[in-house]
Structure 1
């Protein structure tokens, strides 16, 4: 009985391709041929039901990427401001147009005092240093990512009520701001605090997302940052029953400060 079971096992192994390399390759080739035959029969059946011959070659694609009319599409600066504001607020964010960096600083200080915020975390960027938030918010702990917070400061970021960043780009058509990760621009600053304030110099506002992607592509793969984040309003999550929840995977409140003179 044992010998019979052993013989049966060896036969099955040969049939399943587990024997010699040659028999295994032949078995895989047979499976592929059978699969292609079924695929051909399936596609021909569809063509017959449509009452037309089966297309055997791929259609020509005269255009690659976005068409020229879209690549040349541009809004004026005023239109960009209006469209970004409308689209960003439609996604649940708050957009505020300010004239100077001093007005941006006053806005952040006023919001922090209204919230009674005790922890504020910023990216380490020259523009943000000029806001002098630490001098104006002496009742709060104002930290700079990777200066006063080390690379493992995720817990510190999670305890911060407000995160402050300077966006690298903003897209009017989609109402999105773009920020890159780096050693001094940790993604935790924009993801973990309850409130995110993103400062957007108006000079960095573009019409189309493709303008940002083209710039990133032209820099080359070796110069791409560790992460590129597209933020369109507060974090929004919904389950299969469409129950929407705000702030589960990121800040529940997001301000975009569009600053003319930065």
Structure 2
């Protein structure tokens, strides 16, 4: 195959250029560094601040005993009559002595639902949930009030850390749905009128328990 002198000249110039790579003129513009500042506070404090900014309600519990006390007190104060929870491990940890109010088959008519989570993301104040949890897809979004019980071992700083936890837990068999719930459900119309609770719970509580 004959190569014309002009084409050979072009190929030589390309080979020469490739042998001496040109440094990037603006190396910091390639997006290798994180756009977010590193955490300046403890992850627990960061999550509580971000979650509260988004109208979430954060309750800190130093132990499972305090969790039981705080949760039972809240239920009594709000006079919730139908509490939907199908996660027995959570009920055992919470020690809820409200069996007459506990329902496991009537999510449509409950006052509040109680679930666990996969993790909490401190930087965004988000609750990470998946369809692989015992509560499934609907429990956290159907009830008017959602209570999430989470533990300090589930707290991570960023979204990528939450995804890494999921990969470590489920391997290649990731859940069919992974949800990042950031505060109560909200939407806004063209006039920027914010409405809370249209597509999910109007109130979201996180009971954070030190493991």
Q: TM-score range by the shorter chain?
A: 0.7 to 0.9
Which residues in structure 2 correspond to 1:84-123 (within 5 Å)?
A: 84-123=47-86
Pair 1:188-2:138 in alignment: yes
Unpaired runs of at least 5, structure 2: 1-23
**Would the alpha carbon gap of residues 143 and 132 (structure 1) be closer, same or farther in structure 2, given more than 3 Å must change?**
farther
1:143 to 103, 124, 128: 103
CA shift, 1:66, in A, is 7.0
**Would the alpha carbon gap of residues 168 and 123 (structure 1) be closer, same or farther in structure 2, given more than 3 Å must change?**
farther
Q: Distance in 2 between matches of 1:192 and 1:120?
A: 13
Preserved CA contact (<8 Å) 1:88 1:94: yes
Aligned to 2:13: none
Q: Distance in 1 between matches of 2:100 and 2:82?
A: 9
Preserved CA contact (<8 Å) 2:80 2:112: yes
CA shift, 1:220, in A, is 4.1
Which residues in structure 2 correspond to 1:177-216 (within 5 Å)?
A: 177-182=127-132, 184-216=134-166
- Which of the pair has more CA radius of gyration? 1
Q: Distance in 1 between matches of 2:110 and 2:63?
A: 26
CA-atom RMSD in angstroms: 2.8
Which protein, 1 or 2, shows the higher relative CO under an 8 Å CA cutoff with sep ≥ 6?
2
Q: Secondary structure at the match of 1:111?
A: helix
Whichever structure has more helix as a proportion of its residues is 1
Aligned to 1:51: none
CA shift, 1:243, in A, is 1.0
Q: How many residues align?
A: 184
Give TM-score, length-normalised by structure 1.
0.62
CA shift, 1:195, in A, is 1.0
Which residues in structure 2 correspond to 1:1-262 (within 5 Å)?
A: 67=32, 70=34, 75=39, 79-133=42-96, 136-140=97-101, 142-144=102-104, 149=105, 156-182=106-132, 184-217=134-167, 219-221=170-172, 223-261=173-211
CA distances 1:65-123 after superposition (whole Å, capped 9, x unpaired) = 973x549x8648x6111111111111110112110112112222112112221111114
**Would the alpha carbon gap of residues 66 and 121 (structure 1) be closer, same or farther in structure 2, given more than 3 Å must change?**
farther
CA shift, 1:257, in A, is 1.2
Preserved CA contact (<8 Å) 2:71 2:94: no
**Would the alpha carbon gap of residues 88 and 162 (structure 1) be closer, same or farther in structure 2, given more than 3 Å must change?**
same
CA shift, 1:138, in A, is 4.2
Unpaired runs of at least 5, structure 1: 1-58, 150-155
Preserved CA contact (<8 Å) 1:128 1:165: no
Preserved CA contact (<8 Å) 2:118 2:166: no
